[in-house]
Amino acid sequence: MKVKQSIELSLTGIAAKGMAVGRTSSGVVVFVKDAVPGDVAMVYLYKKRKSYFEGRMEKLISPSPDRISAKCSHFGVCGGCQWQHLSYPSQLEHKQEEVHQNFVKIGSFDFPKLEKIIPSKSQFNYRNKMEYSFSNSRWLTKAEIESGEVINRNALGFHKPRMWDKIVHIEECHLQQEPGNEIRNFVHQYAMDNGISYFDLKQKTGQLRSMMIRTATTGQIMLVIQFFEDQPAQRKALFEAILANFPQISSLQYIVNQKANDSIYDQEVILHAGSPFIEEEMEGFRFQITPKSFYQTNSLQAYELYKITRDFAELTGNEIVYDLYTGLGTIAQFVAKGAKHVIGIEAIPEAIAAAKENTKRNKLSNLSFISGDMKKVFTDDFIATHGTPDVVITDPPREGMHKDVVEQLITVQPQRIVYLSCNSSTQARDLNLLTDHFAIQKVQPVDMFPHTQHVENVVLLKRIHA
Ligand SMILES: C[S@@+](CC[C@H](N)C(=O)[O-])C[C@H]1O[C@@H](n2cnc3c(N)ncnc32)[C@H](O)[C@@H]1O
């Protein structure tokens, strides 16, 4: 079959990145953007790969019974949500299936039947953190171009997928908690009215570069604005206007970043007003969150995730527990009452400093925190100093664990490992290396991110040899 033509296709399943998948009459797989399983559609085949086509939906012939109308006006353009047009029960079903498929395809190990995925407590307004970019190169939709209207190209929003220099201007986002939308729209309007320049990604000029809004279940709000060129008088006036309109912002901070990239991790964060952190609360524990620190983005669902982790760890009070990739030490503190001692390891020094501070304030005394790259810290010497763990909880980033870390787990032989992952394919890869020594006892998917294809998964492993 030839590329650059339209064909009628029945979509039957979900593939990576939330795309729907179907087969041509000759059996070749087609991955289709914007469609959902159950749709019958005219699909334009725009790219031919070695063993499959990539296509986009041109016309919906008959909609899937699972298809719903998306709530957001930016759906399909912004790229943040892939599945707002798929009913929530169906999203859950596909997430469960994705974990299952990754375990079957990537894993060559035995695993028990997956527990039923735990749905998110809220399906909208669940995100406690959003990062927006400013740009003078706004992405224009086809309709906007065809309208002939003159549209100001300053945008505050999200990067258009696969377009590094284009920003989709956002007027509403149903994933983040309020008053995030109000703050973002206010800052955009103020900047436009007062002629504050937006970043030019190609020329590397302009003032406003990015903005992060964080909220917490305690009601505290953090706003961090990143500037490229800094004009203190304009910045001060902007901040005064923000605080006058949003007195509930409890932490207003900024960064002046003149590097090529906008990562804040190697940048100084300057406090303009309020506190340098906001606080999250869970079972009476308070966790201080600083601009650079990781905190689970769905706070209510993080509580569900941590309860599962604590149950899987089966602590009796006598165990030495290692919490690898501890972030702010939230899991470490959450399980500490049930353990003899908990040791948290994390790469970001500021997160470790906050973890230590949180532990003191939470009046816990049986925890230690160490910062550094996991593969360099989690060594034989480290174990000789801190004791052999009975239980290891591990929650790596999307890339999974470094091979050396997995090998060290095999050497150390804890009785139990609780492996949390936001990427079940790298998790399956790591489990492949572990399952000669540890048996998978439970697999519990959790939905932390409704309307996206992402799924969190918790696995309990038990040592095979006594
Ligand atoms: C998915 S987060 C888990 C955080 C924490 N367990 C929680 O629930 O909030 C992954 C953490 O791993 C840290 N990290 C990433 N690469 C690392 C490495 N090579 N060594 C140590 N920590 C790392 C990140 O900074 C982040 O805090």
Burial class (CB in 10 A: 0-12, 13-18, 19+), 168: buried
pLDDT of residue 186: 98
Torsion (CA) 242, 247, 249, 252 in degrees, nearest 10: 50
pLDDT of residue 135: 96
**What is the pLDDT confidence band of residue 76, given thresholds at 50, 70 and 90?**
confident
Whether the pLDDT of residue 17 is over 80: the answer is: no
CB of 347 closer than 6 angstroms to any ligand 1 atom: yes
pLDDT of residue 108: 87
Whether the pLDDT of residue 395 is over 90: the answer is: yes
- Judge whether 427 and 400 are in contact, CB under 8 Å: yes
Apex 147 CA angle, 138 and 35, nearest 5: 70
Task: Read off the pLDDT of residues 196-220 as tens digits, 9 standing for 90 and up.
Answer: 999 999 999 999 999 999 999 999 9
Residue 12's nearest CA partner among 33, 39, 51 is 39
pLDDT of residue 34: 85
**What is the pLDDT confidence band of residue 162, given thresholds at 50, 70 and 90?**
confident
CB of 418 closer than 6 angstroms to any ligand 1 atom: no
Q: Which of 72, 78, 81, 422 is catalytic?
A: 422
Of all protein residues, the one whose alpha carbon is nearest to atom 27 of ligand 1 is 327
Task: Read off the pLDDT of residues 81-98 as tens digits, 9 standing for 90 and up.
Answer: 989 999 999 999 999 999
Give the whole-angstrom CA distance, residue 123 versus residue 305: 16
Tell me the CA distances in angstroms from 80 to 173, 326, 423, 427, 449, one per residue in order: 9, 26, 17, 23, 11
In the chain, list all ranges with CATH 2.40.50.140. Answer: 5-67
Task: Read off the pLDDT of residues 137-147 as tens digits, 9 standing for 90 and up.
Answer: 999 988 889 98
The hierarchical CATH code for the domain 129-282 is 2.40.50.1070
Mean pLDDT confidence for 308-321: 98
| Residues β-bridged to residue 274 | 251
Tell me the CA distances in angstroms from 193 to 179, 185, 189, 258, 259, one per residue in order: 21, 12, 6, 25, 27
Look at the domain 5-67 and name its fold.
OB fold (Dihydrolipoamide Acetyltransferase, E2P) (2.40.50)
Q: Among the listed ranges 19-28, 366-375, 395-404, which one has the minimum average pLDDT value?
A: 19-28
**What is the pLDDT confidence band of residue 18, given thresholds at 50, 70 and 90?**
confident
Of all protein residues, the one whose alpha carbon is nearest to atom 7 of ligand 1 is 327
pLDDT of residue 79: 84
Q: Among the listed ranges 31-35, 40-44, 408-412, which one has the minimum average pLDDT value?
A: 31-35
At 450 the three-state DSSP class reads: coil
Give the whole-angstrom CA distance, residue 131 versus residue 184: 10
Give the whole-angstrom CA distance, residue 198 versus residue 192: 9
Ligand 1 center–CA 178 separation, angstroms: 27
**What is the pLDDT confidence band of residue 424, given thresholds at 50, 70 and 90?**
very high
Residues in the chain: 466
CB of 346 closer than 6 angstroms to any ligand 1 atom: yes
Ligand 1 center–CA 371 separation, angstroms: 11
Apex 187 CA angle, 186 and 193, nearest 5: 90
Ligand 1 center–CA 280 separation, angstroms: 18
Whether the pLDDT of residue 465 is over 90: the answer is: no
Look at the domain 91-122+298-463 and name its fold.
Rossmann fold (3.40.50)
CB of 226 closer than 6 angstroms to any ligand 1 atom: no
The type of residue at 206 is G
In the chain, list all ranges with CATH 2.40.50.1070. Answer: 129-282
Residue 275's nearest CA partner among 345, 218, 329 is 218
Q: Among the listed ranges 20-24, 227-231, 291-295, 460-464, which one has the minimum average pLDDT value?
A: 291-295
Give the whole-angstrom CA distance, residue 385 versus residue 366: 15
Of all protein residues, the one whose alpha carbon is nearest to atom 23 of ligand 1 is 347
pLDDT of residue 143: 85
First to last CA, the chain: 57
Pairing mode of beta strands 29-33, 52-62: parallel
Residue 346's nearest CA partner among 446, 415, 427, 265 is 265
Active site residue 72: no
CB of 34 closer than 6 angstroms to any ligand 1 atom: no
User: DSSP secondary-structure letter at 231?
Assistant: -
- Please provide the average confidence, as pLDDT, over all residues in the chain: 95
Of all protein residues, the one whose alpha carbon is nearest to atom 12 of ligand 1 is 325
- Judge whether 445 and 456 are in contact, CB under 8 Å: yes
pLDDT of residue 193: 97
Whether the pLDDT of residue 246 is over 90: the answer is: yes
Beta strands in 257-297 (DSSP E): 270-274, 278-282, 285-289
**What DSSP line would sit under 88-103, residue for residue?**
HHHHHHHHHHHHHHHH
Pairing mode of beta strands 20-23, 29-33: antiparallel
pLDDT of residue 144: 87
Give the whole-angstrom CA distance, residue 341 versus residue 338: 9
Mean pLDDT confidence for 166-193: 97
CB of 330 closer than 6 angstroms to any ligand 1 atom: yes
pLDDT of residue 195: 96
Pairing mode of beta strands 367-371, 341-346: parallel
Work out the number of other CB atoms within 10 angstroms of the CB of residue 451: 25
Pairing mode of beta strands 167-169, 155-159: antiparallel
In the chain, % of residues over pLDDT 70: 100
CB of 348 closer than 6 angstroms to any ligand 1 atom: yes
Which tokens sit at 105? 């395809």
The type of residue at 21 is V
Whether the pLDDT of residue 466 is over 80: the answer is: no
Residue in this structure with the two tokens 């009046």, named with its chain if needed: 363
In the chain, % of residues over pLDDT 90: 86
**What is the pLDDT confidence band of residue 33, given thresholds at 50, 70 and 90?**
confident
Ligand 1 center–CA 96 separation, angstroms: 24
Whether the pLDDT of residue 118 is over 90: the answer is: yes
pLDDT of residue 141: 87
pLDDT of residue 369: 98
Ligand 1 center–CA 30 separation, angstroms: 36
Give the whole-angstrom CA distance, residue 224 versus residue 226: 7
Which tokens sit at 113? 């039947």
- Judge whether 73 and 49 are in contact, CB under 8 Å: no
